[in-house]
Amino acid sequence: MALTKCIECGKEISDKASVCPNCGCPVSTTPSQTLSSEIDTLENTAPVTFRASKKVGPIQIDENNRLFRIYGAIPTNKKKTGLVGATFKGMMAVSTMGMSIAAEKALGLGKTKVGNKNCYSFDDLISYELIEDDSLVTSGGVGQALIGGAVFGGFGAVAGGITAKRTQKKKVESLYIKATLNDFSNPCIMIPLITKPTKTNSGEYKNAFTLSHQILSVFDVITHNK
């Protein structure tokens, strides 16, 4: 405990007192004391470190801190020249507000890098869509019900809801997921799953569609836990 002078009567009083015991004048916190308190608070605030506790495809989840990021590599099929490649690239450019770098990569061979290392709060996920051949298959997001009441690790957990909305066909030319984020510098991230004509009865298509189920399930859980 230290002594200080009352600004009203000038007598010495304890710096812990809320009012002067001699004249009753309130003892206010000095600017230096306030600044010191703010500095102590900042110094005691540890930075949040992202630690993924769940991972599905390129989606990484930090459940403890309620954070997620879309970052990783997924298998993509070989680029085909002509209308198909041009059409998909055009869709990617429009959906990403002209940012076609992801589109260029999505049409490559082998594994494609998706997203970036930016971390987002669960609240930053605005919406997500599964798009097949320019047609919306299903979507979710703020204010929408869960697609299928999905949980982590549930293979085909949303298959019923998705299958009911799609038209059965023998071949598709593109399948991708679009995630819209509350971030002006990076408003959406595209996750390409199929980028060339693929038969719907092939293992390639089934694997891509299963992965899409799982990713949408993860987005459902994020939305449900906002």
Residues 39 and 64 in one domain: no
**pLDDT band per the 50, 70, 90 thresholds, residue 84:** very low
Residues 213 and 103 in one domain: yes
Residue 73: domain span? 54-224
Residues 195 and 153 in one domain: yes
What are the pLDDT digits (tens) for 100-142? 444 444 444 467 889 999 999 999 999 999 999 988 888 887 6
pLDDT higher than 70, residue 29: no
Residues 213 and 157 in one domain: yes
What integer pLDDT is reported at residue 53 of this predicted model? 93
Q: Establish if 48 belongs to a structural domain.
A: no
Q: Judge if pTM exceeds 0.75.
A: no
Residues 112 and 39 in one domain: no
Residues 127 and 160 in one domain: yes
Residues 35 and 62 in one domain: no
- For every residue of the chain, DSSP letters joined together read --EEE-TTT--EEETT-SB-TTT--B-PPPHHHHHHHHHHHHHT-PPPPP--SEEETTEEEETTTTEEEEEEEEEEPPP--SHHHHHHHHHHHHHTTT--HHHHHHTSSEEEEEE-S--EEGGGEEEEEEEETTEEEEEEETT---SS---TT-TTTTHHHHHTTS---SEES-EEEEEEES-TTS-EEEEEEE-S-EETTSHHHHHHHHHHHHHHHHHHHHHHT-
User: What percent of the chain is modeled with pLDDT above 90?
Assistant: 33
What integer pLDDT is reported at residue 86 of this predicted model? 46
Structural domains in the chain (count): 2
Residues 59 and 39 in one domain: no
Q: Establish if 49 belongs to a structural domain.
A: no
Residues 73 and 184 in one domain: yes
Q: Establish if 147 belongs to a structural domain.
A: yes
**pLDDT band per the 50, 70, 90 thresholds, residue 187:** very high
